[in-house]
Amino acid sequence: MKANVQTQRIAELIKSAKQQFGDFSEVKKQEIFLTIKEAKARGLLRKQPPDRCLSNYVNAANHLLRSYATDEFAAALNQSLDYIYVYVALVGTNSITVTA
């Protein structure tokens, strides 16, 4: 049941993002997913401020983790398509949960 809710929410988010930003790039999606997966394995995903030594994707992930369940979170998702990719990667790596 929880997986269905997550899948449905992600599908809605992707549909909305496509309408707002255009089509997705499979290569970029894979790059961001692998970056977030590696960052999680290395313990780099934390609720910390931006660090110029980390990639933009890891900084975006940390921003989303820091602002999760706030109004700032929704604003961040509307910033750019990269934030949508990062959010999907965070959900895909069980770094962030989707609630019903």
Record the pTM. Answer: 0.78
Mean predicted confidence (pLDDT) in 42-55: 92
9 phi and psi, to 5 degrees?
-65, -45
Average pLDDT over residues 5-10: 64
Q: Tell me what pLDDT residue 2 has.
A: 53
Q: Which residues contact 40 (CB under 8 A, 6 or more apart)?
A: 93, 95
| Predicted local confidence at residue 27, as pLDDT | 86
Q: Exposed (0-12), middle (13-18) or buried (19+): which is 39, by Cβ within 10 Å?
A: buried
